[in-house]
Structure 1
Amino acid sequence: MTPKPQPVRRLSRRLLLAAGFAGLAAPALGQTRGLTVYKTPYCGCCTGWVTHMRRAGFTPTIVEREDLAPVRAKFGIPDALASCHTAVVGGYALEGHVPPADVIRLLKERPKALGLAVPGMPVGSPGMEQPGGARQRFDTLLVLDRAGRTRVFASHA
């Protein structure tokens, strides 16, 4: 007994186009989710922030340094905007406890800027949570240039 021939399935133009666009988009999405985090070896709140970024779908690579000032200088973040860690994602620098939602918005909108900064270590920001839920109002700043010009990108209560 010979096997019955199977019908030839034809792919629609719509299906082929969708597959092609998905193939092109996948590498771009993967590149923006890779995240390099520069932190000191003994910073617990940096580890907390990294946990938030992982939960948001980012894939962090940790680089430990004793001094982060040269890292900030390399990526154009002025010392006045400094925090406890610096990260790089999708061609942008991230300084401090920037909420993951702000990073996702940055990567979606792609403004002409160096990156985002949350100066200092605001209580209640990602990685700086407190028992009892205390929170401090803070702004995420869009760092426009190496001269340190900024504008408010997002406000958090």
Structure 2
Amino acid sequence: MNRRVFCYSAAFMLLVTPLPASAEPTRAMLYKNPQCSCCEGYAAYLRKNGFAVDVKPTTELAEISRKAGVPEQFQGCHTMFIDGYVVDGHVPVKVLRRLLSERPPIAGITLPGMPEGSPGMTGPKRAPFTIYAVLKDGAPPTIYASE
């Protein structure tokens, strides 16, 4: 086969071969305090990184986190449910993707508080973020990642 025939054949195959369907984005439901704007920033950050995020304002945030197994001292400023896991706080997308790919047998993960420089928060990052694993058996959270 000469080069011209090969090139025409290859170009034809590219035109007639269907492209694979793109995967649907992973859906998430984020519960937040109605007055909190940083949570909207976090949702925008997730959307920018390919997630489909619905945001629901609520005054019952602490109760939602508690029922999901997140101890009070480990709660973030919003609670999200994604693919069977609870994610509390401004967890970086790299750690979120790790959770969703590894699928560990835990209830979820949390970045407590509102650390400056975390996704959705203003200011510079001053130290590594410690993300904790929320265990299913009610045991105290353990370190899942440092980012």
Deviation of 1:80 after TM superposition, in Å, equals 1.5
Name 2:146's counterpart in structure 1. 155
Give the alignment partner of residue 59 of structure 1, picking from 30, 52, 67.
52
Instruction: Evaluate the alpha carbon distance shift between residue 44 and residue 106 of structure 1 in structure 2; reply closer, same or farther with a 3 A threshold.
Output: same
Report the TM-score when normalising by structure 1. Answer: 0.74
TM, length-normalised to structure 2 = 0.79
Distance of aligned partners of 1:66 and 1:137 in 2 relative to their CA distance in 1, 3 Å threshold? same
Q: Give unpaired runs (5+ residues) of structure 1.
A: 1-18
Q: In 2 relative to 1, CA 134–102 (structure 1 residues): closer, same or farther, beyond 3 Å? A: closer
Q: In structure 1, which of residues 87, 106, 122 is the aligned counterpart of residue 80 of structure 2?
A: 87
Instruction: Report the RMSD for the aligned CA atoms in angstroms.
Output: 2.0
Q: Could you say which residue in structure 1 is the equivalent of 2:32?
A: 39
CA distance in 2, matches of 1:154, 1:99: 10
Question: Is 2:116 the counterpart of 1:145?
Answer: no
Count residues with an aligned counterpart.
129
Q: 101-110 or 32-41: which moved more?
A: 32-41
After superposing on structure 2, the runs of 4+ consecutive aligned residues of structure 1 that deviate more than 6 Å are: none
- After superposition, residues 52-131 of structure 1 pair within 5 angstroms as 52-130=45-123
Q: Give the letter for the 1:154 counterpart.
A: A
> Gaps (5+ residues) in structure 2?
1-18
Measured in 1, the distance between the counterparts of 2:59 and 2:77 equals: 11
